[in-house]
Amino acid sequence: MKILHIDSNHPLLIEQLNKLGCVNDEDYTSSKEDIEAKIHNYDGFIIRSRFKIDKAFLDKATNLKFIGRVGAGLENIDCEYAISKNIALIAAPEGNRNAVGEHTLGMLLSLFNKLNKADKEIRAGKWLREENRGLELDGKTIGLIGYGNMGKSFAKKLKGFDVDVLCYDIKSNVGDKNCKQVSLEELQQKSDVLSLHTPQTTLTRNMINKAFINRFKKSFWLLNTARGTSVVTKDLVAALKSGKILGAGLDVLEYEKSSFENLFSDNNLPEAFQYLIASENVILSPHVAGWTIESNEKLAQTIVDKIKAKFC
């Protein structure tokens, strides 16, 4: 098979595909239009998030057998149309689920123990012990929305703590020994912490809004290592100001570009975002929860393994 790679990935991806007898071409700089002009020459296409794969692109990919996405989600691809053209869609959530689980736990522990705040203060010459008294996870209820690869990984990491872990998912019977599946209403009644592990879909877009937040019985902490579009930032800020949300760990933001490579193209920062970056009870990271040294290799290996299983 002839495969076109338009994003750089771990070198094992091309090395192992070469060994399988595939012809691998790399083009990391051409425009989408230039890629469209030659995509008919390829059986396979491997991307991260450089641009959207829409109907116009897929119509030009007349010989395409598969699209491999070196990551977890497929929201940048018109999946329904691709499937209608018998193009297999290959993603790699298994490759970075452990990284996401660890990053989410790290954010939670840092929030509870005010580690970012304390570190900044000490560097400024302030030694404030009482003001940095932390919270313990023991006895808390952690609610997860979405219990696929990422949710399961985070729940597994929580097994070392004396916590109750609940999940809500649109699929039935996904609970396991690490997590009890409940209704959304029960999750909102019991959770001290809410962690999002959902893909980007019409159901999850703007899901965490004012009405959703106000249905929680208790004030709670919010973690989002999934997709930024799930949270309405201005509603999150209002809840932080009122104390309904006690703090937030955000690896993703609704302001991200679809490629995930940039945030803002100018210096006009939204007012809600300005509040987040000034808040001591908010931790931010640049969409890197699933982007570790190890996951870089595991993502590539997962794609190779799936291509091999299906086509070789």
Residues assigned a catalytic role:
227, 256, 287
Q: Are 53 and 75 in contact (CB under 8 A)?
A: no
**Type and span of the H or E element at 33:** helix 32-38
Edge-first strand order for the sheet with 2-5 is 23-26, 2-5, 44-47, 66-69, 88-90
Q: What is the separation, in whole angstroms, between the first and last Cα of the chain?
A: 9
Distances (CA, A) of 38 to 14, 35, 81, 83, 190: 20, 6, 20, 21, 54
Q: How far apart are CA 41 and CA 61, in angstroms?
A: 8
Q: How many CB atoms lie within 10 A of CB 35?
A: 21
Task: Evaluate the CA torsion angle 117, 122, 126, 131 in order and state its sign.
Answer: positive
Q: Are 253 and 273 in contact (CB under 8 A)?
A: yes
Structure tokens at 264: 């803002």
What is the phi/psi pair of residue 166, to 5°?
-120, 150
Q: Is 3 helix (H, G, I), strand (E, B) or coil?
A: strand
Q: How far apart are CA 143 and CA 298, in angstroms?
A: 28
Nearest alpha-carbon partner for 165 in 189, 148, 182, 150: 182
